[in-house]
Chains A and B, each alone.
Chain A
Amino acid sequence: MGTGAPPPAGPTTPHTATTRTGTGTTPSAPAQRPSRGAGRAGTGRRSARRRELVACGVLMAPFFVLLAAVFLVPVGTAVWLSLFADDRSGLGFGPPNPSFVGLRSYLAVLADPTFTAGLGRMLLFCLIYIPLLVAASLVLALLLDSGAVRLRAWAQLGLYLPHTVPGLIAAVIWLYLYTPGISPVIDLLSRGGLQVDLLGVDTVLPSLVNVVLWSNLGYNTVIFYTALRALPREVVEASVVDGAGPVRTALLVKTPQIRSAVVTVVLFSLIFTLQLFTEPMLLGQSTSMIDSRFSPSMYIFDAAFNRNSYGLAAAASVVLLACTIALSYAVTRWTNRSVGPEEER
């Protein structure tokens, strides 16, 4: 590995590319607006344009069929379902009898302390996890970029390795490392006279943060490192010549310039955390501190498949979706404001 990565599309944003497609082409390409009624050339252009649109449609169709079938229709169904409730007998036998209940399911979800507690828990999780993740991977990326690290390629490989481990298996590994009798860590600690319960009331959330942090630390380090490598070296070296030490260079020169990578990481970590499901489900098999409604996603699963209340589950899904959109919007707004005018968009 090292620096031999293929040239990525880099800074060409889709927007600039669009304009390039439109202008810098030979005359046979359709102009912005083909002039109407320009004789043979005009019809030729129009048919070329039609052929292009047909090809475009053919190439896009499979994806948009999928988009409709597994994204738009489900989201619509969720909203629709959330307005109905199945008033079935408690055991779920007998014919389902959906009746329109308006926003009642939403009120029920929002008034349900187990749902709001789960949502709050995930927000707390974000507050611990995201700063830790960003700080640790930024420090690692800056250290790797400082050039002082030996065996840089190997260090990156080692750091990235956990990201290839599926979330469920990461949870299995750490669950066993948290389990007394199997875990060499707990064994060592107890020999040192320290008795810890890593799945107790106060420790279960940090333990869970650790699993997710372990999975994603290297991935985000590589993202930051790649962004740092893409910085113009002159700027960095100018500051070195100006007498800024490596720490100052790293924090005051390099870090502000990879802000957009930091924002991307925060945004995707936020979305990832809000839908946390796999890891708490697995740890929950071994500790009573994680109940079946520990996170909003677990609440949805529990409502739909244990309590058979589709209306409630759908309303919880829509609320979770709304929270995700609101938080993503807030993050982008906040960064757009702080980025200022020097960057486009």
Chain B
Amino acid sequence: MSASTGHSARPSAGPSTRHPSGPPTRPSAGPRLAGRAVTNAVVAVFALYTLLPVVWLVLAAAKDTDALFSSRLLSLEGFSPWSNVVDLFATDGGVYGRWYLNTLVYAVGGAALSALVSTACGYAFSTYRFRHKEKLFGLVLAAVMVPQTVLALPLYLLASNLGVVNTFWAVFIPLLFNPFGVYLGRIFSDGYVPREVLEAARMDGSGELALYFRVAFGMLLPGAVTVFLFQLTAIWNNFFLPMVMLSDQELYPVTLGLYNWNSAATTSPEYYPVVITGSLLAVLPLIAAFLMLQRFWRSGLTAGAVK
């Protein structure tokens, strides 16, 4: 690493085109190669650290109970991925399918609504001027900082006063709140919606709301997808709020269900394989969404990190 000459090695832009003059003193090839080898080795070790546990999850989900407890994951015996899945959906009367469906509804429905609400608000912050706007925006940013766990108990008490504890809405509504989405929405509006276009549409007699829904929203769509993805992961991850709000197993999301099964596994080990297979299936949609929509993820990270 110490001797590799940085950018000349970028594979995309050939070695000589990037530096027409070349580095003034080119180090000898020996240490440069060694440096590059060390660099790649370090990255490879970290990549193994991040990948191997996921590989373990995949292998473990494909093994029967005996093979799982003998820690022999790499041997070819005891492979029974299909029967594991069948067991998973048969355990406790097939409640896992129900949890899976719940998570999909909470996450996809919640993230979509939340993205619409947050993007509209971010656009309004970006487009309109009014008194105390920056103070109001400060309040939004402050809400980003507040730990979810602080809000859970009062939310539970509010829900309990309204008589909605242990209902779908008690979990769904609070997860629509996404102040970071408003922040992103404002940044994306600043970047993607040219003022001139809005002005031109105004001259043509377009109403202010039509302006947003017919003109601006189309330009903001990539930003809205980014906000959607962030919130999708956040809701899929959520555990504290359902744990506080829900007692009816039929309303559980996957995370809470797996938590209960894992608790049961400490006394009855037959739950271990279903927890493992259930975990793998619960991760797959997120990995798929991430792989398909990477560029949106990345643009959100950029916008978040630049500030």
Contact = CB atoms under 8 A, between A and B. Distances in A.
B145 A328 contact: yes
Contacts of B5: 240, 246
A85 to B, nearest CB: 14
A148 B124 contact: no
| Chain A interface, DSSP helix/strand/loop, else mixed | helix
A155 B39 CA distance: 12
Nearest to B8: A147
- How many chain B residues sit at the interface, stated as a range, is 35 or more
Interface residues of A, number: 132
B224 interface: no
A63 to B, nearest CB: 4
A214 B51 CA distance: 10
B199 interface: yes
B237 interface: yes
A271 B43 contact: no
B304 A166 contact: no
A150 interface: yes
B240 A63 contact: no
A160 B301 CA distance: 12
A70 B150 CA distance: 11
| Residue among A149, A175, A218, A324 with most chain B CB within 10 A | A149
A173 B121 contact: no
A16 B236 CA distance: 35
B128 A52 contact: yes
Contact of B129 (A8, A21, A247): A21
Interface in B132-179: 133-134, 137, 139-140, 143, 145-158, 173-174, 176-177, 179
A155 B158 contact: no
Nearest to A303: B153
Interface string B1-14: 11111111111100
B30 interface: no
A5 B289 CA distance: 17
A278 B298 CA distance: 26
B95 interface: no
A247 B4 CA distance: 9
B149 A275 contact: yes
A290 to B, nearest CB: 13
Contacts of B202: 28-29
A161 B199 contact: no
Interface in B33-65: 35-36, 39-40, 42-44, 46-47, 49-51, 53-54, 56-57, 60
* Pairs A-B, 10 closest by C-beta atoms: A9-B191, A55-B208, A275-B147, A74-B154, A63-B121, A297-B149, A77-B154, A59-B124, A56-B128, A187-B71
5 contacts: A6-B222, A55-B212, A56-B127, A63-B120, A67-B177
